[in-house]
Amino acid sequence: MLTLDVQSILESIPNEVRWQDIVQFEQLDERVAIANDLCANIIGVNEASIEWCPNDEPPNVLETLLWWWVVRPDLGAAIAIEAPQELKEIIGHYILQN
């Protein structure tokens, strides 16, 4: 279970995030590719921002966790706690590489 502090940070992430507000921006392309591979076209890339485009209404847990991880990979360990096994492994591998 996520701590209340982490949960409130993640839930405050808007559906569109400007480039300058993205953590670890240098690796964004990698994270977007991974997210869009797991959930087709979930992340839209705009001229100065990225946008969350969930396929389900309401968004399913995987879509939500992927969006949070793309924007806040620094909280990947906390996000992985709630993630399905495949996403846990992806986040773990990402953390080890970075």
Domain that holds residue 62: 11-97
pLDDT of residue 4: 67
The number of domains in the chain is: 1
For 50, phi then psi, to 5°, come to: -120, 155
**Is 5 part of any domain?**
no
Tokens at residue 32, please? 């977007």
pLDDT tens per residue, range 35-64? 999 999 999 999 999 999 999 999 999 999
User: Does residue 3 form part of some domain?
Assistant: no
Residue 2 is assigned to a structural domain of this protein:
no
Structure pTM? 0.92
In a 13 Å sphere around the CA of 8, the CA atoms on its Cβ side amount to 3
pLDDT single digits (tens) 63-91: 999 999 999 999 999 999 989 999 999 99
C-beta separation of 87 from 80 below 8 A = yes
Torsion of CA 36, 2, 98, 39, to 10 degrees: -10
CA distance 76 to 83: 10
